[in-house]
Amino acid sequence: MRSLEQEFTSGTSLLMRNTLTKAGKLGLILLEDLASLAASGSANWLGVSSLQRTFVLDILEFILSNYVVLFRTLIPYEEVLRHQICSILMTSLRTDSEFEGETGEPYFRRLVLRSVAHVIRLYSSLLITESEVFLSMLVSAINLDLPLWHRILVLEILRGFCVEAHTLRILFQNFDMNPKNTNVVASMVESLARVVSSIQFQDTCEESLEAVAGMFTSKSKGVEWSLDSDASNTAVLVASEAHAVTLAIEGLLGIVFAVATLTDEAVDVGELESPRFEVGPPTKCTGKTAMLCTSMVDSMWLTILDALSFILTKSQGEAIVLEILKGYQAFTQSCGVLRAVEPLNSFLASLCKFTIGIPNEVERRSIVQSPGSKRSEAFLELRESIVLTPKNVQALRTLFNIAHRLHNVLGPSWIMVLETLAALDRAIHSPHAATQEVSMAVPKLTRDSSGQYSDFHILSSLNFQLFESSALMHVSAVKSLLSALRQLSHQSLSATVSFVQASNQKAGSISFAIERMLSVLVNNLHRVAPLWDDVIGHFTELTSSSNQHVRNLALNAMDQSICAVLGSEVFQEQASSKVFASNVRNSAVRTLFQILGSHGQKLSNRMWENCLCNYVFPTLDCASHMAATSSKAEWQGKELGTRGGKAVHMLIHHSRNTAQKQWDETLVLVLGGIARVLRTFFPLLRNISNFQSGWDSLLCLVENSILHGSKEVALAAINCLHSTIVSQSPKGNLPLPYLISVLDIYELVLSKLPNYSNSATSKVIQEILLSLGDLYVQAQEMFDSFMYLKLLKVLDVGIKQTKIANRNFEADYGHLPPLQRTILEILPIVCPANHIATMWPPFLGKLMEYLPGCDSSIGEIDDGDQGNTAHSVDVPCRIASNSPKKSENLSPAGPCVPTHMFSEKLIPVLADLCVQAPAAVKYDIFPDIIHVLGRCMTTRRDFPDGTLWRTAVETFNKFMVDDLSKVTKSSTTDIANIRSAKVRTWKAVADIYEIFLVGYCGRALPSNALSMLALKADESLEMNILDILGDKILNSQTDVPTDILQRLISTLDICASRTCSLPLETVELIPPHCTKFSLTCLQKLFLLSRQRTSDQNSTSSEVSKISIGTLLIRCEYILDKFLKDENELGDCPLPAARLEEVLFVLQELACLVLQSDSASFLPLHPKLKSGLVQENRANHLHLIVLFPSFSELVISREAKVRELVHVLLRLVTLEMGLRKLCSTS
C-alpha cells in the first residue's frame, strides 16, 4: 500500500496495473463481499449472510475516501467500483420509488449521498459516465417533490462541489467543456439559482428572507448551521426552507470564488496578465486555465447575476449583504482579468443600482405633475429622498475596490462608474442627504458632528483617492478615464431639462466631471503631454456653453490647469537652470583650491575657519545638490545652419550633453580640491572648531556620491578619503576615530550598493578594496585586534558583493573578473602583522569561508568584546558618534559562494598564507584548511572537467608532503595543544582520503565528459594521491594515531574491493582505468604488508600489522568470489578484469614476505604459529591462512590460475617442512 501511494503521489506509475499481491487479492475479495452486503446480498468469503446496510455503506464510504490509490492504480479494484459499488449507489440514489425500511432513513440517505460525493470528487476523471449520471440525479433531485430534509442533504453535497476550486475545475473540464458530455456544472448552477428564486413564491417570503439573513449572521460569528438528521426511526427532522436557500446561495458564491481562485492561478502561471501590470493591448487567452475560466464565465454569469441581484435586492442583513458584495467584487474582477466585456459591464451595472437610491424619471414626473398647492412639499420630499442605507454604503465601497483593481482595463465601462460617483458627489454635498441611521430632519451641522455621518467622509475620501491613484495607471487607461469624464459632461450638458431639480443635477454632474478631470491632470503632471489636449480641449468646448455657470467653471479649470503645469518640477528645473556656464564655474573652483593649496600655510586659523565655513564646504554642498537635482535630458547643440533643407546642429560630447553631467564634472573638481587641501593641511585643520561638522558632512556626501552618483563622482569621493588617510597615517597625524569613520563609511556603502552587475559598480567596489589594502599597509601600526577585525568585516562585505556583481562574467569571457583579481591581489597584503599575530585564525578562517561548501561559522568575526582603543584617544566624540553604525544595512546574511574560477585562484593564495602563519596558528588551522580542501575536491562529482578539484588535490598533496610533516614533527612547550591539534589534523586527513578516494576516484565517467588527454592527467593525479598515502604517510616515520592508520588502510581496502564487488555483467562495462585504480590500491596493501630491509620504523611496523589482516581477508574474498562466479558461469569465460585481478593476487601472494612481528598476528593455531616462528619459517605464514581457498582453486578451469595455485601450494609445503617419502628416505 505504501509503495502504491509513493508511486501515485510521485507520478512514477501512470499506468494501471492488473496484477495483485496476496494482500491485494484478499482486499479485493473483502471489497466484493462488502459490495454484496450493501446490495442486500450475502458475503461468501466473510461467511456472513447479511449485515445492516447502513453499517456496510459507512465502511464503503470510508474506503472510498481513504484508499483512492487502490481504485486509481489497480484495475480489479476499479472494476468493482465501476460495476458493483456505483450500481449500488445508483439504485440507492433513485427517488422514483417509495423508500422502505432503513433506505428511507435520513442517516442512510446521508451515507449514500456522501459516498456519491466521494465518487464524483475523487474518481470523476476515471468514471466519466457514472459521475455524469450521479450529478444529473443530484441536480434533478432538487426539483423533485421530495422531503425538505432530503433536498437539503443534496444541496449540502452540491455546495461542497461548488466551494472547491479543484473539484469544480475537474468537473467543468470533464463535462461542460467536452462536447460529448452534458453541461452538468451549468445545470447545477441553474438548479441552485432556481432554489434561490423560489423564495419569492412562498407565502412566508419575508420571514424566510429574515431567516436566511440570520443564518449568514450566525455564520459570520462562527456558528455553522447544519441539518440534524440523526433521529432514529422517526421522520422528525429540523428542516427549513431558509436553510435550503442559504445552501444554494453559498453554492453560487462558492462558484464565484472558485472562478476567482482559478483566475488568480492563471495569472500566477503567466497565462494571463494582471490588470495592474499589463502594458500592451489584451491578448487572446490561450492557456489551459485561462480558457477554462473564460468558458466558466461565459456559461454561468447570467444565471449567477440574476440570482445574486435578486437576493441582494431582497436582503437587508449586514452579513449576507457583505458576502454577496464580496461575490460581486470577485466575479467582476475575474471578468476584468479575463477581458470578458459583457459580464463585466452587466455586473458593474447591477452593482451600481445598489449604490445610490435616486428616484427614477417616472417618480420625478409624478411629483412634478402633482397639484400646485403641494408642489413645494413634493420638491422638498424629492430633495430629502437621497438616503444611503448600509447596503448602499457597502456597495459603494465594493465599487471603489473594483475600480482600483481594474482601472487599467475598464475602458468604456468607466462611464457607469462615473455616473454613480457623480450621484454620490451630489449626495455628499446635498444638505438633504443622510445615511439611514440618521434622521432626515436633523440639520446638516448636527449631522456633521454625528459619528454616523462618518460614512459620508469615508466615501468622499475614497472618491478623491480613486482619481488621485490615476498617477499609477497606464497612459491609455488615464485617457479612457478622461474620455468617460468628457462623455459624462456632454450627457449632462445636452440633457433636456424641464424642471429645476434636474437642472441642478445636470450642473452637478458637469461640475463633478470638470473637477475630476482637473484632479487627474494635477496627479499626472509628470506625464502631462499626452493628456493635455484631452483636458484643455474639453474645457475649451465648455467655454462656448450658453450656461454662464458652466462657462465660469471651465475658465476657472483652465486657469488652475495652466498654473499647475507651470508650477511643476519640469518648469522649475528649467527656471533653476539659469546659472553660470560650466566652464566659468569649473575655472572658479580650480582657482579657489589652487590658492588654498599653494598659499594655505600663510593663512591664520581664523582665516581658515572662515574659508571652510563660507566657501569650501558650502561649495561642496551646492555642487552635490545641483548634481543630484539637475536635469538628465540631453541637450541639442546650437543650430549652425541648414543643409538639404535640414538643420545642422553643433555636436556636443556625450560627457557634457546634460546639465547633470556638467555638475558632476564640477563636483569631481571640488572633491579633488578638498582632497588636496586635506592632504596638505590636515594637522592644522583638524584643530579648527568647525572642522568636525565639515568632516561629518564630507562623510555623508561621500556616502551619497558612492551610492547615487555617477562613476566619476564615486571614484573622486573614494579618492578624497583615501588620499587623506593614507597621507596622514604614516606621519602619525591621524587620530584613530578618523580611521574608524572611514572604515564605517566603506562598510556602509558596500552593503548598500545596488545588487546588479555593471561596470560602474564593479569599478567602485574595486577602488574601495584597493583603498582598504593601501590603507592597511600605510597605517599598519594603528591596527590592533579590534581595528583588524573591523577591517576584515569591511573586506568581507566588499568581497560578498562580487558574487552578484560578477555572476556571469566567467561564462561570458572565460577568465577571472577584474574585481576578483583585485581581491586576490590585496589578500596577501592584509595578512596580520607581527603585533596582531592572534588575528591569523580569523583571517584564514574568513578566506576559507569564500570557498565552496564552507561553513559560515569558520572564522566568524566578533568584535563585541575586543578592546576599543578609539575611546582612549582624545578627539572630539562627535566623529565617532556620527560614523555610520555597523548594524545598519549590513550585507545579506549567510556566506558568499563565489564562482569556481575565483576559488581556484584563492586556494594557492590560502596555501601560501598558511605557510606564512606562525607555527602555533598552523596547529589550530590545519584541520579546517584540510576540510575546506576536501570540499573543493568533492566538486569533481558535479564538475568533472573543472579545475577547482584538481587545484585542491594538488594543494592537498603539497600539504601532505611538505607542510604537514613539518608541523607534526615540530616541537613546542605546549604539549597538550600539540597533541590535540595533531589528532584533529590526522582525523581531517583520514576524512578526506575516505571521502575522495572512495567516492570520487577510480569512477566511471560519461564517454563525452572528458577528453583522452584530460583522462590521462586525472588518472595520473589519482595515482599520485595514492602514492602519497601509501609511500609518504603510511610508509614514513609519523605520529599518526593507530585508529587513523586503521581508517586509512580500510580506505585502501574499500577502493581495492571495487572490481571483485561488482556483478559480472557490470564488470564488463567499467573502463580500464577503474580496474587499474582498484589493482593499484590492492598493490599498496601488499607493499604495506611485506617485510622491509632498510627503512623499517615503528610506524611501518604498526602499519604492517594492521594491513596484513585486512589484506588476507580481501584476498580470501577475491579468491572465493572468483571460484563462485566461475561455477555460476559454467563454460562462459570470466571478464578479463576479474581474471586479471585473481592472477595479480596469486602472484603477489607468492612474492609476499612477512615481517616476524606481523606473522604473530595471523589467525593460526598457536602451536603451529609458534613452531614455525621458532624454526624461522614464518615468512609465508599468510599462505597457510589462505590454504583452504587454494585447495578449492585447484580445480579452476583457468590454466594460469591452476599453475599459480600449484606454486603457492608448493610454498606452503616448504613453509611447513613437508616432503615426499622418497625424498625423506
Residue 869: per-residue pLDDT: 39
pLDDT-derived band of residue 635, with 50, 70 and 90 as boundaries?
low
Report, as an integer, the average pLDDT of 1051-1055: 91
What is the reported pLDDT for 175? 87
More confident residue, 95 or 364: 95
Residue 407 has pLDDT above 90, yes or no: no
Give yes or no for a contact between 600 and 681, defined as CB atoms under 8 angstroms apart.
yes
1007: pLDDT confidence band, cut at 50, 70 and 90? low
* Burial (CB count within 10 angstroms: exposed 0-12, middle 13-18, buried 19+), residue 481: buried
> What does DSSP say about strands 646-649 and 639-643: parallel, antiparallel, or unpaired?
antiparallel
Neighbours of 1074 (CB within 10 A): 21
pLDDT value of position 228: 53
Query: What is residue 1200's predicted lDDT score, i.e. its pLDDT?
Result: 92
Asked if the model's pLDDT at residue 468 lies above 50, the reply is: yes
Cβ 897 vs Cβ 851: under 8 Å: no
1213: Cβ contacts below 8 Å, ≥ 6 apart: 1219
Report whether pLDDT(378) > 60: no
E strands along 106-163, which residues?
A: none
Predicted confidence band of residue 923 (pLDDT cuts 50, 70, 90): confident
Mean pLDDT of 234-255: 71
Catalogue the long-range contacts made by 1119-1123 (C-beta closer than 8 Å, 24 or more residues apart).
1119/1145, 1119/1186, 1119/1189, 1119/1190, 1119/1192, 1119/1193, 1120/1189, 1120/1192, 1121/1060, 1122/1060, 1122/1193, 1122/1196, 1122/1201, 1123/1189, 1123/1192, 1123/1193, 1123/1196
386-390, 513-517, 689-693, 1207-1211: least confident range: 386-390
Q: How far is CA 820 from CA 770, 848, 1100, in A?
A: 11, 15, 46
Q: How far is CA 1202 from CA 415, 1150, 1195, 1210, in A?
A: 103, 13, 7, 12
- What does pTM read for this prediction? 0.49
1208 alpha-carbon distance from chain centroid: 67
Q: Give the residue, 287 or 1077, on which the prediction is more confident.
A: 1077
Beta strands in 714-828 (DSSP E): none
> Residue 873's pLDDT band (boundaries 50, 70, 90)?
very low
Residues 548-569 as b or e (16 or more Cβ within 10 Å = b): eebeebbeebbebbeeebeeee
On the question of pLDDT at 897 being above 80, the answer is no
User: For 130-134, 302-306, 320-324, which range has the lowest pLDDT when averaged over its residues?
Assistant: 130-134
The cell numbers describing 235, all together, are 421522520
Q: What is the C-alpha radius of gyration for the chain, rounded to an integer number of angstroms?
A: 45
Are 767 and 745 a contacting pair, CB within 8 Å? no
Q: What is the pLDDT of residue 438?
A: 40
Supply the pLDDT for residue 634.
67
Concatenating the DSSP letter of every residue in 1-33 gives: -HHHHHHHHHT---SPB----HHHHHHHHHHHH
Strands 639-643 and 387-388: unpaired
Average pLDDT (1174-1201) is 79
Highest mean pLDDT among 380-394, 583-597, 1074-1088, 1120-1134: 1074-1088
Task: Provide CB contacts within 8 A for 630, sequence distance 6+.
Answer: 573, 577, 658, 659, 660, 662, 663
For the chain, give the mean pLDDT.
77
Per-residue pLDDT, averaged over 626-639, amounts to 70
* pLDDT, position 108: 78
pLDDT category at 570 given cuts 50, 70, 90 is low
Chain mean position to CA 1074 = 41
Q: What is the pLDDT of residues 946-957, one digit of tens each?
A: 888 889 899 888
State yes or no: pLDDT of 872 exceeds 80.
no
- The per-residue pLDDT for range 295-306, each reduced to its tens digit, is 989 998 999 999
Q: Where are the domains of the chain?
A: 1-123, 170-354, 355-571, 729-912, 939-1160
Residue range 993-1018: average pLDDT? 81
What pLDDT, on the 0 to 100 scale, is given for residue 1171? Answer: 55
Distance CA 285, CA 82 (A): 37
